[in-house]
Structure 1
């Protein structure tokens, strides 16, 4: 309810609890606009009094007795008009009161009205229902003086807020990336909970060095309906989220040390005597191990970055050695597709020279005999041992009998960091730390005998003139024979693959020197092996 009252004398009261006091108020100060001073007003009154006395003096004279009765009313009317203009042109204010208590001074009643409307709109939004300002508002007219503080619409609004305070609560609201999360009476609660969560993550994460929050966090002061305030426990639940749906984005840094497989390299040695695609793995190689120290960065449990800070090799990787054929495959073999299966046989050793072929041959004392296979010689002594020299310049990193192996292994690291492995060494003549060149003797190795094709071992023992012999059944009536071995490495019933080692070259049985006697049998009949060896084409 609005009402306006006129009053010449009011004093400024700036808080809702002050009462109205009345006293004489005159217009002075910077806020006055063309208002006459009190001295001017007294001068005017003195002037009127003097004018009246002068008129009485001259009334006794003839002219004035006639004119004064007519002129005096006119002068009086002019004075009255002048006084009214003085009152109108003086700056006027309104003392705005709520329930009889002055809250301040405004230049227009509409200033208070707009502030009340703004408060009603804001409170309706906060309470989610229509709010009406029900206090009695009145206005008292007053003249402007220097001690009166004129309120603007915004300052009036701030003065009105306490009257609605019983229906709202002051609060601090938390926003994450612009999204409202919760409100609480203390802003410190938000910081304490966030600190609690980040400290918990750091304590429960191994090797954690830092936990930071990547989000934009804002805390704003405001008002809210009391029912809209959240407890500290509720705020913590909202910030932690459920099922990984926290509104916060946690960036976790860890410095961890872990073992990592050190993958071995492959060293290829070209062999112009073998066909392209007929690669032979001399040594499978072995992966090593290294201890790696890394900085790992994850966001909400998902790793996004890993930077290696340091690594120490604990077990060196040993290179895989492969003999790679470079000989162009004849068109006949390309058409047969033998390279895609075990339908052909490879040489049973790495030597591709046949010293004695299939068929009749002359032996000692001009005797001839039918040779039912082919002889392939090797290097070395009577036991098939031959000297192995280093092919690189470097340092011996390993020279030992590895667990589970029956032969020694030598690993040499070159100046470029590449490691070269010499396995299956019968004896070794170097030790760890030795410097070697390309002519350094490493030890002795026995020439390996390998399966010409995949199959099953059906015989593996000493056999009279054949000495130590191995027979492999390849199916379809095909059987291969490997005789005069010094060592047999397989057992009957064992399945072997093409190129797999089955023994060592030797001089057992009836022989005239180091070699392997190789036969191909078709349905138990020895045939010429050469057509079956694509290396011979």
Structure 2
């Protein structure tokens, strides 16, 4: 039904109101002469008046609202809204039809008054629907509605954000392949799409990335696994391997080992065995070594498990044949990726070193000493905390020290009496300043037990050190010979002399003349044959010369 203007609508409503009022008055006059009818009549008349007024207002408002909503939507949403405007006019038609039905039913006395209530409810619902609902784009994901957006472009922006986010995790561009569909429909304000929820719903469709637990060492990612519990157990297992059966030991990682939940490429997931193998590996690094006395480049390379070529490759500026003390050489080294620090309490016994007590005596010459009481180490029971890294001890802290056996100090007596000039000074001087003609050792005529110095016959031969003459005379092939005892098992022999100036038992001082150079015995010319004997056996005398 088409209504031309609001004036004609209002006129029609008023005419029907008059008819309805007249009809209700006739109904109220029925039985007016009966008892109690006057009061009942008054009540019914009041209710009827109120009902007619309400109906009049609802008719008027519903008609105006339907037309206004339809025209407004037509301007805003085009064809779809135009359809709604037509529906607004249709609302007026339905209202008019409902009003007519009501008037017809009101003429029947025995008919129920329920249609009047139904009419009012229908009018109210239609008016609310026309003002509350609007037209929008409904978004569907896998057959489930996500909500409404103003336009499809709004949803495309959310998709772009999901693709950019996913590409950031994968390291390359990504295109979303979710099953999205769109449809036009009535849009309620509480059904508007939440951008954050929509983004998370779309991101949940991406199979190429997932939320996993990431194990890192000092910020370096080592492995990815879906089970946090499995990663925690792996850490505990590696620590327990270092502790062993030691109930007093505690272990911790030197590095910062973390397990965090992160979004990562699904392809990055590792098995626990793979992660354990990675944690057991080593990391490479470099160190600088300062050349020490006696080092060679090849020996340095061998000590650090490298080849000479590898060392030269790291140090192209170094000449392998000319390295010098203090020069710095770069070397490769490796260390465990994950180190374990172990702290344990240990109990053990430890020796207590004895001390030496010095006493002085005038009965002994200077630089002479003797032990009068032997020293003996003591014993202590020790409790200590020992800190080690990968089995190498780093620190030991004593917690308790209990002496079980006291040490016995050594007592040493040192002489203070001034030594005579004839006493041994502990070192030798050369007995004759001549030309060395025959060294100690093998030669053509056999083994030579001393050294020979040639010179002019009659030249002075002196004592190499102070001591006591134990031989002075002819001694076979040695000719005229002198032997001096210097104490401590040391003796010196002087042979082939032309004359002797000391006697047996005489004390001689270092540098004192004891004979004259000669060529007696088995000799081919004037020379001094000199020997050094230790406990009776000849030794090379040259190292004893000062």
Instruction: Please indicate the TM-score interval, normalised by the length of the shorter structure.
Output: 0.3 to 0.5
What TM-score does the superposition give when structure 1 sets the normalisation length? Answer: 0.44
What TM-score does the superposition give when structure 2 sets the normalisation length? Answer: 0.44
Structure with max Cα Rg: 2
Q: Which has the higher strand share?
A: 1
- Compare relative contact order (CA 8 Å, sep 6+) and give the higher one, 1 or 2: 1
